[in-house]
Amino acid sequence: MLAGGIGMTLDEAAKEFELDCKIRHLSPKTIDNYGKQLRYKYFRCPKCRVLMRTARGGGEKEMHCPQCHTSFKVKS
Ligand SMILES: [Zn+2]
């Protein structure tokens, strides 16, 4: 099992984001702003379309798909 939520579905990502907002006791307005500046950039594998994420910042990163093992670069 990989740590860091790699390979989660879009549903799971949305649930995690919602939970994250609840934990932080944010107001709806703050959540709206927060949603635009997610800590993670979500993207799909160019080959198998599995949803992945990486922490924002740090420029271009080489990603490795946990499902089809394709390596590709993303800008975070
Ligand atoms: Zn893949």
Q: What whole-number distance in Å separates Cα of residue 15 and Cα of residue 36?
A: 16
The answer as to whether 35 is a domain residue is yes
The answer to whether residue 56 is domain-embedded is yes
Give the pLDDT of residue 49. Answer: 95
How far does the centroid of ligand 1 lie from the alpha carbon of residue 20, in Å?
Answer: 26
Query: Distance (Å, rounded) from C-alpha 8 to C-alpha 34?
Result: 21
In sequence order, the 6+-apart residues with CB closer than 8 A to the CB of 43 are 51, 52, 53, 54, 74
- Enclosing domain of residue 27: 10-75
Residue 2, domain member (yes or no)? no
Closest of 60, 67, 68, 51 to residue 15, by C-alpha: 51
In a domain, 25, yes or no: yes
Q: Pull the structure tokens for residue 73.
A: 């670069």
pTM strictly above 0.85: no
Q: Is residue 4 part of a domain?
A: no
Cα 35 to ligand 1 centre (Å): 25
- Is 62 part of a structural domain of the chain? yes
| 31 CA to centre of ligand 1 in angstroms | 30
Domain membership of residue 45 (yes or no) is yes
Domain count, the chain: 1
Most confidently modeled of 4-8, 31-35, 72-76?
A: 72-76
| 23 within some domain | yes
Expressed in angstroms and rounded, the spacing between residue 43 Cα and the centre of ligand 1 is: 11
